[in-house]
DNA sequence: ACCTGTGAAGATTTTCACAGCA
DNA sequence: TGCTGTGAAAATCTTCACAGGT
């Protein structure tokens, strides 16, 4: 029983990217696309793109290209987007509010179905149609609502506690916005989005652009 | 004139991570740290950590470990954080507001020094002490304020236009939150944060956790 | 004895380049 | 001829394991 080759981790963000751009192409009325076209629309090397698509099966026709509709279907299946995912969001501060209002989630089949915070002024208030629960109710509410993905948007010092509650509640996938390294059991998957880190990487690149670029003066 | 080995791209996010954790250790009164300690605090393999630190010079003492203060200094220098960076933010919606309020930027030496939007209700209003300018004034305002990093937090269809204005204004580093592939000249560096993509990657992993995990019922 | 720094091996990812089918 | 699918080469990244200071 030979283990089937699984999809390389590095390919996953690109698969999600292809999916989005294919959606845009469909809106523009396209039905077929070649690897070169999709490659230039996504900024990915076309050989890499073909290899990525080959991981999810041979969906193209030689000499022609890819039918968009079945390709989209295959991508959605691979990414597990056919089962509508229920998301819990912990921490309804500035960022939490922005996430609740972010339409990109719903467009991709992610439904925010539970909100949690410790602030008594927030608990009981509906935001975007969902009543905020107290964070301590995570273990009770998450299983009830079939939550499979937890988003941590608390301040740093509250993040590990929120994470622990989510893990207790059976959540196995966590997206962490707090500037903290979360400790989790090995079966739990954590992805981290750290805005300060992104800026620091850019800052590094800015320093590389020749230090002469900085005090640029423009004639007026 | 041999080109000095440059820092691998893959190491940059880790360098930023070490920097943050070292700051926490300093707050706790530590002055020295070994690669094993820092490795377990950051979740990075200790050999990889030592190799990462070796890219920015030999900062440790064999048999002892690393002095935190000079290490922090070296990291800040490498990441270009000693020169205070001036950041422009385009698009003051939900996410833009959250970014203005995010303290993590200031803590790392990033000063948001210009805000832009096209909404006439926003233009002229101060947010977090900075008056919102109309997006069309980017080419004028950014050079005046020495902006080196631009953050695009507009809706997707406005993102390329905002990006073009930033590039015209001499900005060479862009952090893009819009779900769009920005086209830029090769000397411009774009990093992308796509929340929907992060969720889709988690969704993939959720599908891998054995489909039996989903309809988990908890006894009460 | 302890811990850094690093060659070398190993793993993963990207790119090349072309065979093979429409 | 045109474009996919893919072995094989190249590049990059990670891990091992130990030499070499303190």
Note the pLDDT tens digit of each residue in A80-114: 999 889 999 999 998 999 999 988 888 888 999 99
For A129-187, write each residue's pLDDT tens digit: 999 999 999 999 999 999 999 999 999 999 999 999 999 999 999 999 999 999 999 99
Pairwise CA distance, residues B15 & B38, whole Å: 12
Token code pair at residue A163: 């994470």
Name the residue facing A203 among B42, B80, B206 (closest C-beta). B80
In this prediction, residue A209 carries a pLDDT of 77
Tell me, what's the pLDDT at A58?
85
- Answer whether any strand D atom is within 7 A of the Cβ of A53: yes
Mean pLDDT, residues B111-123 taken together: 97
State whether residue B42 sits within 8 Å of chain A by CB.
yes
Could you tell me if B162 and B90 are in contact, meaning their C-beta atoms sit under 8 angstroms apart?
yes
Within 8 A by CB and 6+ apart from A171, the residues are A88, A142, A147, A148, A149, A150, A188
Measured in angstroms, the CA of B80 and the nearest CA of chain A are apart by 5
Spatial separation of the C-alpha atoms in residues B155 and B135, rounded to whole Å: 13
Provide the pLDDT for residue B214: 39
Does B8 score more than 70 pLDDT?
yes
Question: Residue with CA nearest D2 C1'?
Answer: A63
Strands B173-176 and B149-152, sheet pairing = parallel
Tell which wins on pLDDT, A216 or B194.
Answer: B194
Inform me whether the C-beta atom of residue B128 falls under 8 Å from chain A C-beta atoms: no
Q: Is B61 exposed, middle or buried (0-12, 13-18, 19+ CB in 10 A)?
A: exposed
pLDDT at B102 over 80: yes
User: Which of B 44-73 lie inside 8 A of A, CB atoms?
Assistant: none
Band (pLDDT 50/70/90 cuts) for residue B147 is very high
């Amino acid at each position: 029983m030979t283990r089937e080759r699984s999809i390389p981790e590095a390919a996953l963000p690109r698969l999600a990217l292809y999916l989005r751009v294919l959606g845009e192409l469909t809106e523009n009325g396209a039905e077929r696309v070649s690897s070169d076209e999709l490659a230039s629309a996504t900024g990915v090397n076309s050989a890499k793109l073909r290899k990525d698509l080959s991981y999810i099966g041979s969906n193209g026709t030689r000499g022609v290209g890819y039918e968009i509709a079945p390709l989209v279907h295959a991508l959605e299946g691979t990414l597990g987007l056919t089962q509508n995912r229920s998301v819990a969001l912990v921490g309804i501060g500035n960022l939490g509010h922005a996430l609740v209002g972010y339409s990109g989630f719903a467009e991709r089949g992610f439904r925010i179905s539970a909100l949690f915070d410790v602030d008594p002024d927030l608990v009981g208030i509906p935001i975007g149609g969902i009543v905020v629960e107290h964070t301590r109710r995570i273990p009770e509410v998450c299983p009830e609502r079939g939550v499979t993905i937890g988003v941590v948007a608390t301040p740093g010092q509250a993040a590990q506690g929120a994470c622990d509650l989510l893990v207790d509640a059976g959540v196995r996938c966590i997206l962490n916005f707090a500037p903290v390294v979360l400790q989790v059991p090995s079966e739990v998957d954590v992805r981290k989005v750290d805005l300060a880190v992104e800026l620091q990487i850019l800052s590094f690149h800015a320093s590389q652009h020749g230090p002469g670029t900085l005090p640029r003066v423009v004639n007026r």
